[in-house]
Amino acid sequence: MADVVRVEPEGDVAVVVIDNPPINASSLSVRAGILAAVEAAAADPAVNAVVLIGAGSTFIAGADLKEFGQPLADPQNPAVIAAIEACAKPVVAALHGAALGGGFEIALGCDARVALAETKVGLPEVTLGIIPGAGGTQRLPRLTGIPKAVELVCKGARIGTEEALALGMIDAVAPAELRAAAVAHARAMIGKNRLRDRPVPDASPEAIEAAAAAALKAGRGRPAVRAAIAAITVAAETPIDEGLAAERAAFQELRTSREARALRHQFFAEREAAKLPGLDAKPRPLARVAVLGAGTMGTGIAISSLDAGLPVTLVEQDAAALDRGRARISDFYAGRVARGALTAEAAAAREGRLTPTLDWDSLGEVDLVIEAVFEDLDVKREVFKRLDAVARPGAVLASNTSYLDLDAIAAATSRPEDVVGLHFFSPANVMRLLEVVRGAKTAPDTLATGLALGRRLGKVSVVSGNAFGFIGNRIYAAYRRQCEFLLEEGASPAEVDAALEGFGFAMGPFAVGDMSGLDIAWRMRQSTAASRDPSHRYVTIPDRLCEAGRLGRKTGAGYYRYEDGKRQPDPATVAIIDAARAEKGIVPRAIAAEEIVERALLAMVNEACLLLGEGVAPRASDVDVVLTNGYGFPKWEGGPVFWATERGAAMVARNLDRLEEASGAGFQRGDLAAIFAAEPV
């Protein structure tokens, strides 16, 4: 107890300090320490009140998720909260940094909550495939009402002090010194103020039903969302002890589910991704960045940087393109102000950090340049040749290439050690993933600077080696290729998309292709056509669509036809597919959704094994981070590697045998030992 929880008396107030860095997670030792401290204070006649406060930068920022994969040891959070409520003396929670999940549930068990400005509070358990399990679904509705509690819990929302105060989730905002304010608040309290004793505010059945329907739609009906709604909506009509027991039972059942395991896997994988083993170099200075190219990608990168507080120089080659880019950024911030997501003053401050210019010499004043021009190797090499002449010594030169050879780009400069790949995903100010690509000559501190920028921008950064398509596009290409095989064998675009959307992908591969433009992948195939082995299986259907001018949504037709923005099957596509099958003598067959999903995912798994074997991806879990954050793979399935490991090496090996046979000539088999290192294959 002395290691992580200590009591510091302030006169008649026992200040219980939780000191379990880095986030004061409510581990077993923390729970036991709080329980012992509260029970001791309750029995001490010299103590009239108790304050719970976190040491360091935060209150209790959540549970220790490493405990969730095994039986939970006592005392558990419900017992700690029961002791707080049973204590005859007022207990005040002093919140700063973050009070989330089990940490906020402990705060809800206290008689009052005092917070510093900028504190974040919330119950994000649903995002981990579980529900609040220590009274959150029963105590929160007594403050906010049922409809708002459904919204907050099912979104896993983390809200600031202003909104939390308005909703009654905190009782006061401390002006400066949190500890002193909490002690004063505790001394001023008379008697207990237990949330369990409060009635749930009235709400109409229509309001509750609307909140539940909205949460189910946004949460795609996932089990944790359904369980959270069920637990919250009975709070008004069920004695609290019954509600707490039902909540705990649902929590314990969900905690050991495959979905919760998958989401915990993702949680830890994201935190590991940016920690590259052996990289101990310090980042270079990063006070000002430049973005070269004011198109959709360039302006998205600029917005992401402006939002992070960085001054940005936006460079274009002609005034019209620069004006369009500047207008796009201005319109973005105007939209955020109109929606109430940003104040006019904050938007003006962000736009004020932008310097649009046609002057390439201004690039000599920045610490990092991000090139975001047309995806063509010759174009990018010419850009980097110019950058080499104007960028200051020691500046990092980054390319946003999504699949080109970073070393060939770096070779256009006299300083390849300063070159790194920063592959953003569109829209760059929304998508969380950033692939940080290490070239053969990228210096360690250059790589560290790319990772530091990712952290500054709030991205999930993953390091990739320099290989065609890096991690994400290479795996997605294997996935799409397998889906094209299925198309050739008899499935329709709609059947493939429906099967994979049913599995959980945000969009199927053919709908994605139409949305992004079929000409993008077509150009990639054309660039490698000369090196393609003619004996390998190759599906001509995508090329024929492009040759017919069917490039997707932007031309009104691709795999589907688009009218008024709505996608629908197109007989012209069917004719192109039928002709391609007939040319190869393929008799189409019916293909079940289960086969579609299995083959598409196995193709991802196999390509992941190849990438790991080549050292392109440092860790198997990095593959899962990339696919879930950049390519629509459902997080609750954990990623392709997690999906495979849940099935076991022997089963995956047998299924890969069938995939290899179905894929035909050119299929390269990966070594499953890359993801099943401790399990015989």
- Indicate whether 1 pLDDT > 50: no
- Indicate whether 611 pLDDT > 80: yes
What are phi and psi for residue 421, nearest 5 degrees? -90, 135
* CATH label of the domain that carries residue 34: 3.90.226.10
Answer with the one of 434, 468, 502 that is the final residue of a domain: 468
For residues 621-639, average pLDDT: 96
> Band of the pLDDT at 71, cuts 50, 70, 90?
confident
* CATH label of the domain that carries residue 498: 1.10.1040.50
H or E segment to which residue 454 belongs: helix 444-456
Answer with the one of 135, 158, 191 that is the final residue of a domain: 191
The verdict on 515 and 378 lying in the same domain is no
Residues sharing a CB contact under 8 Å with residue 611, sequence separation 6 or more, in sequence order: 467, 471, 474, 475, 617, 623
The verdict on 515 and 593 lying in the same domain is yes
SS3 content of the chain, % helix, strand, coil (to 5): 55, 10, 35
The verdict on 359 and 493 lying in the same domain is no
The verdict on 505 and 443 lying in the same domain is no
Residue 274 lies in a domain: no
> Band of the pLDDT at 522, cuts 50, 70, 90?
confident
The verdict on 13 and 41 lying in the same domain is yes
Residues sharing a CB contact under 8 Å with residue 320, sequence separation 6 or more, in sequence order: none
- Total tally of structural domains belonging to the chain: 3
Residues sharing a CB contact under 8 Å with residue 177, sequence separation 6 or more, in sequence order: none
Which DSSP symbol is given to 548?
A: T
Task: Tell me which of 85, 125, 435, 489 is the catalytic residue.
Answer: 125
Mind listing the pLDDT tens digit for each residue in 88-105?
999 999 999 999 999 999
Q: Out of 288-302, 513-527, 531-545, 653-667, which region has the weakest mean confidence (pLDDT)?
A: 513-527
Mind listing the pLDDT tens digit for each residue in 538-548?
999 999 999 99
- Identify whether 488 is a catalytic site residue: no
State pTM to two decimals: 0.90
Report the percent of the chain where pLDDT is more than 70: 99
For residues 628-642, average pLDDT: 95
Residue 453 lies in a domain: yes
The verdict on 453 and 316 lying in the same domain is yes
Mind listing the pLDDT tens digit for each residue in 125-172?
999 999 999 999 999 999 999 999 999 999 999 999 999 999 999 999
The verdict on 389 and 485 lying in the same domain is no
Mind listing the pLDDT tens digit for each residue in 20-32?
999 999 999 999 9
Residue 237 lies in a domain: no
- Indicate whether 680 pLDDT > 90: no
Q: Are 509 and 497 in contact (CB under 8 A)?
A: yes
The verdict on 311 and 400 lying in the same domain is yes
Residue 90 lies in a domain: yes
Q: What is the largest CA-CA distance in the chain?
A: 91
Report the percent of the chain where pLDDT is more than 90: 91
Q: What is the pLDDT of residue 524?
A: 79
User: What is the 3-class SS of 613-680, one letter each residue?
Assistant: HHCCCCCHHHHHHHHHHHCCCCHHHCCHHHHHHHHCHHHHHHHHHHHHHHHCCCCCCCCHHHCCCCCC
Q: Across-strand partners of 13?
A: 10, 49
Average pLDDT, the chain: 95
The verdict on 293 and 411 lying in the same domain is yes
- Indicate whether 678 pLDDT > 80: no
Residue 262 lies in a domain: no
Mind listing the pLDDT tens digit for each residue in 569-610?
999 999 999 999 999 999 999 999 999 999 999 999 999 999
Mind listing the pLDDT tens digit for each residue in 167-205?
999 999 998 899 999 999 999 998 999 999 999 999 999
The verdict on 46 and 114 lying in the same domain is yes
Answer with the one of 468, 497, 522 that is the final residue of a domain: 468
91-95 and 49-54 as β-strands: parallel, antiparallel, unpaired? parallel
* CATH label of the domain that carries residue 393: 3.40.50.720
H or E segment to which residue 524 belongs: helix 518-528
- In terms of Cα–Cα distance, which of 481, 445, 441 is closest to 465? 441
Backbone CA torsion sign across 485, 486, 492, 498: negative
Say how far apart CA 431 and CA 202 lie, in whole Å: 39
- Identify whether 495 is a catalytic site residue: no
Q: Are 434 and 274 in contact (CB under 8 A)?
A: no
Residues in the chain: 681
Mind listing the pLDDT tens digit for each residue in 523-539?
878 878 888 898 999 99
Residue 94 lies in a domain: yes
- Indicate whether 306 pLDDT > 70: yes
Mind listing the pLDDT tens digit for each residue in 258-282?
999 999 999 999 999 978 888 999 9
> Band of the pLDDT at 63, cuts 50, 70, 90?
confident
Mind listing the pLDDT tens digit for each residue in 491-520?
999 999 999 999 999 899 999 999 989 988
Task: Tell me which of 10, 39, 105, 501 is the catalytic residue.
Answer: 105
The verdict on 21 and 64 lying in the same domain is yes
Q: What is the pLDDT of residue 679?
A: 52
User: What is the 3-class SS of 240-278, one letter each residue?
Assistant: HHHHHHHHHHHHHHHHCCHHHHHHHHHHHHHHHHCCCCC
Residue 229 lies in a domain: no
The verdict on 385 and 503 lying in the same domain is no
Residue 681 lies in a domain: no
**Structural domain of residue 348, as residue ranges?**
289-468
